[in-house]
Structure 1
Amino acid sequence: MNYRTYAPIYHAAGQATFGATLASTILEHLPLPQRVLDLACGTGAAALVFAANGAIVVGVDLSPDMLRIAQEQAVQRGLDIDWIEADIRALPPDPRLAPASFDMITCLFDSLNQLLNDADLTTVCRTVGTLLRPGGHFIFDLNTPVGLRSWHEYDQVTFDGRDLLVINRLTFDPVQQRAYGRIIWFRRDGQRWWRGEETHCERPWEETDIAAALNAGGLVLTARLTPHWTPATTADPRVVYVAMRPIGDEYV
């Protein structure tokens, strides 16, 4: 499983900043939700922002190592957040995940790009459609096909600090239509440097895939935006999608 040995590196390198910033942007433009479900919550960056603003928050992630950091962060900030270790494609029966009980569901930092099977996006959207209240929002961002296909064999320095260096080697396989981030890090402990490595794979979801998945979940797309909350174009490498469950909809 990814995000195990990499979890503390992810946290130390500040990669959760994107999720926290996007969560703050969401709250600037949409009404404060009473209950939020953050899918693929990672180290809890977005969940912490929602909770700090008064929302009741549930975070779900498959990695126990990422959730451990999320819990530590919540305790340090005096925030009460429920964390559930689970695959977002197969959420367990849980009273905290009651149908039509969330005003907002998020899945941020291109987490849905890491679902690789054709049916995965539809599976998640159906679950979201069940858990959202009528009028509730589903907000997620994706690396677009344009963005992923630009990963042409180059290295990206993710973090360069006194005791930590993180490099992401980005490639795209046009035959398999898969993008790969080979993350290599060097961390200093005393006088020694330790090396670690993980490879993450993403798939490009076409607009037709996204529309079909949302429709299967009974969800309606209301906006395609940049992370700065401006209208997105077909050339943007990352798009934030805002969808909602229609008011009066009884889909469960």
Structure 2
Amino acid sequence: MNMLRRTWFTGLLAAAALLAGCAVTPPPAPTPQARAALAPDGKLRVGVYSGSPTSMVTDKNGKPAGVAYDLGHELARWLGVKVELIEYKRVAEVIEAMKIGEVDFTFTNATDARARDVNFTLPLVSLELGYLVPAGSSLQSASEIDRAGIQVGVSQGSTSQGVLTRTYKQAQVVPQPTLKAAAEQLTARKIDAFATNKGILYEMADGLPGARVLDGRWGLENLAIATPKGREAGLSYLSSFALTVRRDGTLQSAIARAGLRGTAEPATR
């Protein structure tokens, strides 16, 4: 598998310090079975990809941030283990790594298709799906995209690729290997728009002068914590973790630190 791998081990105090607003009371102790299920190697392997606030970005102080990054460190604190951070080029690679047991934890779009391969908690964040267009584009809204001659970039292997390929009647989907490549293609006018969740789109727009996120949306993503199949002994503890971080402000702190935009009212189930 083609991936960028960086392993960062942090002590428990350092992990706790990463989260502003982290709970100060000791977390509930996991059973040995739950700890072994969620971190079978004695560490929590957190899968991330760079460029998405829901996964990992660099904050205003030059430090790593992101919902997956911060929640992974917080779960490690709960479990009393260290973190091994593994970086991939795109979300599809993170999911593939989780399917074969190379990753223990990530935070991503909880689709029915992915739920066949990994376990999800309840959805914690909902994001609008939209389009980013380059400076000078005549496109003004999401409703104008599906026209003859329009080429829309998507992350290779992403949910967006599958959905839009099935949905479009005239526009053409153009898979991109990385977010960096997509930004370059937009700037060079080799694609007319890039489609994904608005959290990523606003992050990309910050680095592309004149680029705009179009009005309107073509869908919603419901993001949740994901763990590999076969770890059922840890699911009850993980569900408690998910409910707690949503209630105590830890999730909101991670969202704010990552600069995540484009959120909608979270779905429930």
Q: State the TM-score, normalized to the length of structure 2.
A: 0.28
- Structure number having the greater strand percentage: 1
Which is bigger in relative contact order (C-alpha 8 A, separation at least 6)?
2
Query: TM-score, normalization: structure 1?
Result: 0.30
